[in-house]
Amino acid sequence: MSTTSTPDPQPSRPSSSSSTNSSSGEKVAHAELQHAQPIKKLLMSSFLTPEIVSYFIAGGCAGAASRTVVSPLERLKIIQQVQPRTSDGQYKGVWRSLVRMWREEGFKGFMRGNGINCLRIVPYSAVQFTTYEQLKKFFTKHGSKELDTPKRLASGALAGITSVCSTYPLDLVRSRLSIATASIALASSTAPTAFSSSLASTSTSSGTLLNPSGGTSLPKHAAALFHTTSPARSASTAAVAGYTKAELTIAGMTLKIMREEGGVRGLYRGLITTAVGVAPYVGINFAAYEFLRGIITPPGKSSVSRKLGCGALAGTISQTLTYPFDVLRRKMQVTGMKGGQVKYRGAVHALTSILQAEGVRGLYRGLWPNLLKVAPSIATSFFTYELVKDLLIPS
């Protein structure tokens, strides 16, 4: 009896069918991928055009140049905004304060916080100028409509909001670093007695220093609270103020804020106030500059001095009109720092507290040094932007 084994035809058919389906599926996926790649390249090429890249680079260069030029005045403005009105050892007078800063900290004191300021301002300025240029094209339908003042204001305001939201944590950290090493008491006019006695018990020196606000002498360790820190005293003063040497760095201060003030949310303290203030400021700034350019730099009279003058006037006008928002922003940013007893619950609470304690004048503290800073800063910013843009995009 012979037996013959015949192969079962059933398993082979599904295998062939499965292989065919798999192969066709791969072909479809490959075809879709090939179809999507040109679309992706088109989107990237339409966004990252040489023109937009040039705007971005020119804006970044403008920001770095403008802030470095006025770094000492920028730090002085922040210190004067947050120092108590009645505290001893106040920074009073622009020239006298700058001399004091130089005497106690040297060139490093002038540039303190400028590293993170440039780190923040380069992307901030790049985003702002690029967004403004693109919004102008959007509102004018790429030149088919007239660019009037309302369109300039709207373009500038939206550009300001976009740039500040993208770089706000760096701005907050920079403000904290500027204040942390300064010799101001954030809350009270004099150091509490108990605190002074505890300092005295740990002091190893009985020498005294003259109180800069008058003739009264203070112990050296107490005077450290009211003076900017010299390089030799920076570590000890930081320790007294509640900051370690590691915390007086960009990364260290960022981690400290996140650890003690609610995580990432702490890095955005005062964002709404800032955005509300920045929108009109940037809008007025761009609108005023372009308006003044039409008057001061007509065709054939676009000298360097005229361009710088346009930027200086535009910055002065916009900053004066929106300065109270800047004061509120700084108050909100430093409200969580050690040594400050005033804790604002929000922008409205900060505003009412300042008005009750200091009146309208409190909203303009530090305006004079800020105006001295704004004129060369905005002038340098616009001039550098147009110079670099013209080099990258020849007309």
Q: In the predicted model, is pLDDT for residue 205 greater than 80?
A: no
pLDDT tens digits for range 251-299 = 888 898 898 888 888 888 888 878 887 899 999 999 999 999 989 988 8
DSSP 8-state code for residue 92: -
* Contacts (Cβ under 8 Å, ≥6 apart) of 52: 130, 133, 134
Per-residue pLDDT band at 386 (split at 50, 70, 90): very high
Provide the pLDDT for residue 100: 81
Q: In the predicted model, is pLDDT for residue 18 greater than 60?
A: no
Distance CA(387)–CA(381), nearest Å, equals 10
Provide the pLDDT for residue 283: 95
Provide the pLDDT for residue 291: 92
Provide the pLDDT for residue 183: 52
Per-residue pLDDT band at 134 (split at 50, 70, 90): very high
Q: In the predicted model, is pLDDT for residue 27 greater than 90?
A: no
pLDDT tens digits for range 32-42 = 556 555 555 54
pLDDT tens digits for range 338-356 = 555 567 777 788 888 888 8
Provide the pLDDT for residue 238: 47
- Proportion of the chain above pLDDT 70, given as a percent: 67
CA distances 106 to 78, 158, 377, Å, are 18, 39, 22
**Section 98-127 average pLDDT:** 82
Q: In the predicted model, is pLDDT for residue 231 greater than 50?
A: no
- Proportion of the chain above pLDDT 90, given as a percent: 24
Which token pair is 211? Answer: 């109180």
Provide the pLDDT for residue 318: 92
Distance CA(234)–CA(218), nearest Å, equals 18
Provide the pLDDT for residue 339: 55
Q: In the predicted model, is pLDDT for residue 95 greater than 60?
A: yes
DSSP 8-state code for residue 229: P
335 or 195, which is more confident: 335
Q: Are strands 217-219 and 208-210 parallel, antiparallel or unpaired?
A: antiparallel
Q: In the predicted model, is pLDDT for residue 21 greater than 70?
A: no
Which token pair is 302? Answer: 């676009």
Q: In the predicted model, is pLDDT for residue 324 greater than 90?
A: no
pLDDT tens digits for range 7-17 = 555 554 555 55
| R_g of the chain computed on alpha carbons | 29
Which token pair is 90? Answer: 């106040």
pTM recorded for the entire structure: 0.62
Single-letter amino acid code for the residue at 7: P
389 or 277, which is more confident: 389
Provide the pLDDT for residue 387: 94
The vertex-235 CA angle with 71 and 115, nearest 5°, equals: 25
Q: In the predicted model, is pLDDT for residue 222 greater than 80?
A: no
Per-residue pLDDT band at 202 (split at 50, 70, 90): very low
The helix/strand/coil state of 219 is strand
Provide the pLDDT for residue 249: 83
Which token pair is 261? Answer: 């003030």
